[in-house]
Chains A and B, each alone.
Chain A
Amino acid sequence: AQSVTQLDSQVPVFEEAPVELRCNYSSSVSVYLFWYVQYPNQGLQLLLKYLSGSTLVKGINGFEAEFNKSQTSFHLRKPSVHISDTAEYFCAVSPKGGSGGTSYGKLTFGQGTILTVHP
């Protein structure tokens, strides 16, 4: 089974400031890691994903995340935020192929972090 903890429910920040949204996970098997963004009254948009290889992954809209296996973390960062980044962000994991049985492809989400960018 997997679980995901997003350490901050709300993160307020000023425009052009850097931001980090924190995510820790727990799993008995190897996992893929994802960040999704949800704008008000919309579905989820994939920001970035870690499948294998380099632990630093870059996504859309200038976001990046670093996978830290020893700390089971996958924190999301952006060096300079914009008003349009205001949204809710979700960290998620899914079991890797061959290790998840019928759970393969099943996403387990955190509770979400609301990022509010102030002018």
Chain B
Amino acid sequence: ETGVTQSPTHLIKTRGQQVTLRCSSQSGHNTVSWYQQALGQGPQFIFQYYREEENGRGNFPPRFSGLQFPNYSSELNVNALELDDSALYLCASSVVGEWETQYFGPGTRLLVL
């Protein structure tokens, strides 16, 4: 049990809509990262937040944005959804003093129609 939870588990949206995915980690997990895993692929890094500031970003457009809150929760927002955004979205957090190691939540599966 990693202590990282995500909601919702599944979501269906239509092209052009906006979506917000949520992640909650334990006390002391002060770094959170988001990954996109397309079907049949390995996860790809979207961005990382540390102390509520973006701390690194992968090759994703600005319509992917995030927030980290003081209560160890985080959000991933995606605007103007495209069909290719259909994927499993994974949240991962790191423990203070061990932050090279990331622990993953169960993911949110997003389907864009």
A interface residues, tally (CB under 8 Å): 27
Find the A residue at minimum CB distance from B45.
A106
Return the CB mask of A84-119 against B: 1 if under 8 Å, else 0.
000000101010110000111111111110000000
- Answer yes or no: A53 CB below 8 A from chain B CBs: no
- Answer yes or no: A61 CB below 8 A from chain B CBs: no
- Answer yes or no: B104 CB below 8 A from chain A CBs: yes
Interface residues on B, range: 20 to 34
**Complex contacts, A56 vs chain B, CB 8 Å:** none
Q: Do A102 and B44 touch (CB < 8 A)?
A: no
- Answer yes or no: B71 CB below 8 A from chain A CBs: no
Residues on B facing A (Cβ under 8 Å): 2, 4, 6, 31, 33, 35, 40-45, 48, 55-58, 90, 92, 94, 99-107
Residues on A facing B (Cβ under 8 Å): 4, 32, 34, 36, 42-46, 49, 51, 90, 92, 94, 96-97, 102-112
